[in-house]
Amino acid sequence: MLTNTYQRQVAEAIKEVESHTDAEVIAVVAREADNYLYISTLWAAFITLLLSPLIDFLPFWLNLQQVITLQWVLFIALAVIFRWRPITMHLVPKKIKFWRASNLARRHFLEQDLHSTKDRLGLLIFVSESEHYVEILADRGISKLITNDNWQRVIESFVREIKRGKSGEALLSCIEQCGDLLQQAIPTSTIKDELSNHLIIIN
């Protein structure tokens, strides 16, 4: 999703944002929230069972052992085909994809210690590429001052840029818009930078 150049620019953008606010900002970009191998396997098993009645139309000379072998071959072939990423992501229900991405976002919010900053001023910008999912998580100190409607507008702007094929620009713009909101609500004071200003890439 992001070239090395954009990764450096994102880190610099976060540093610039934090120079004007006491909030701590971290951006996480994940290639995918899950491999969903269990989904593709379940689909392969389901279709194999669904096609079982067609056994009656197979040549009469096939014995039971050969029929069972054919079913296994079909199951394995489908399981392999369904593990091709474009097919897998089409098989996974949107609700499950968003649920997995949301869980990963919250896990990283905790792993990056955004919940333990002074005055609870942590902010996570999370993007999961395969799931087409973006979320902004703000800790209590920020949520008291900036409503979810503001973050939703930032997300909608991000999605519009992504649809135009401008992934790097979209993330940089998202960080800039978040910075504007944070600067207005939580301008910088004497609090020092508590967390590193970097982009986290999850492959």
- Proportion of the chain in helix, strand, coil states, percent, rounded to 5: 60, 15, 25
In single-letter form, the type of residue at position 67 comes to: V
In single-letter form, the type of residue at position 105 comes to: A
Alpha-carbon separation of residue 22 from 16, 171, 182, 196 (angstroms): 12, 21, 8, 13
Name the pTM for this structure.
Answer: 0.85
Give the tens place of pLDDT for each residue, 6-27.
Answer: 888 888 999 999 889 999 999 9
**CATH class entry, domain 4-34+93-202:** alpha beta
Do residues 198 and 29 touch, judged by C-beta distance below 8 A? Answer: no
Within 10 angstroms of residue 20's Cβ, the number of other Cβ atoms is 15
Give the tens place of pLDDT for each residue, 19-74.
Answer: 899 999 999 999 999 999 999 999 999 998 888 777 666 666 667 777 788 888 99
Six token digits for residue 191: 């609090």
Query: What is the residue-wise DSSP string for 65-118?
Result: HHHHHHHHHHHHHHHHHHTSHHHHHHHS-HHHHHHHHHHHHHHHHHHTTGGGSG
Domain locations in the chain as residue ranges: 4-34+93-202, 37-91
